[in-house]
Amino acid sequence: MKMKLRLFLLAALLPFTPKAFAQDPNFYIFLCFGQSNMDGAGKIEQQDRTVDKRFHVLAALDAPNLGRKKGNWYPAVPPLCRGSGGLGPADYFGRTMVANLPENIRIGIVNVAVAGCKIELFEKDTFKLYAATAPQWMTNFIKEYSGDPYQHLVDMAKLAQKDGVIKGILLHQGESNPNDKDWPKKVKGIYDNLVKDLDLKAEDVPLLAGETVNADQRGVCAGMNKLIAELPKTLPNSYVISSAGCTCNPDRLHFNAAGYRKFGTRYGEKMLSVLGYRIKQPDTQPATQPGN
């Protein structure tokens, strides 16, 4: 009889038992968003197919060809955005982070990007006005994100927050907003919404914005870099990542694999510096390393 009573009391207490898996403060989450260069357009080569076990990606989309289901964590083997994507800046950002952080810290990436989109697509309250004008091929990408890329990013970020702590945001966008002097203000609006919707503290969440293909590579949109350079004046705790010397594809819009490796490494080194970590392996990779 006493044994039955003990079992009954134990069963009654089970619903109030804390979850077996709690948020890990040593699992650093980084949100990535933007257009095609954040999606990744570099050829994935053999050297890119092996990653540290501490580097993970949260699938923001189903990718049957990769065996991934939306909302689950996987080893961060590229592509990190969609199943049909390529190498991007987030790849070597994450690799640089784990190479320089203590062994007990893991890195997680959440990547939402739409090729060809203006920054307006991520504006929480007005994106529908822009989406309504998007070409059909872009509309198909938008539909993958339930018709609302910003909200999709927030939803995926909230899932990630159950497992780790959001430590920063990576942005690569601008090719579709040439000569838009309001671009810095628009980025700040999106950042402010993310901070609010994810219950973050702005002083704890730096935003890194990468330049478009540089003038030294005859970048088609290199002029946009003058406006990107203005972002830190508008958005405190934001930093611009130089694309100088980062090689590109023949279209001069997208980086190539070697360019993304160098560019992603720079994102990582800046984030490490901002978060107060010493860089053990500074960027020494030549911009002319083979890769397309």
Structural domains of the chain, ranges and CATH numbers in brackets: 27-274 (3.40.50.1110)
Low-confidence ranges of the chain (pLDDT < 50): 1-21, 284-292
Buried residues in 106-129 as b, exposed as e (16+ CB within 10 A): bbbbbbbbbbebbbbbbbbeebee
Q: Could you list the active site residues?
A: 36, 251, 254
Quote the pLDDT of residue 219.
98
Give the Cβ contact number of residue 42 at 10 Å: 30
Quote the pLDDT of residue 49.
97
Measured at the CA of 202, the angle between CA 201 and CA 208, to 5 degrees, comes to 135
Whole-structure pTM value: 0.89
pLDDT digits (tens, 9 = 90+) for 83-96: 999 999 999 999 99
Q: Six-digit token pair at 84?
A: 């049909």
Quote the pLDDT of residue 281.
61
Give the integer Cα–Cα distance in Å for 109 and 75: 10
Quote the pLDDT of residue 11.
39
Quote the pLDDT of residue 280.
82
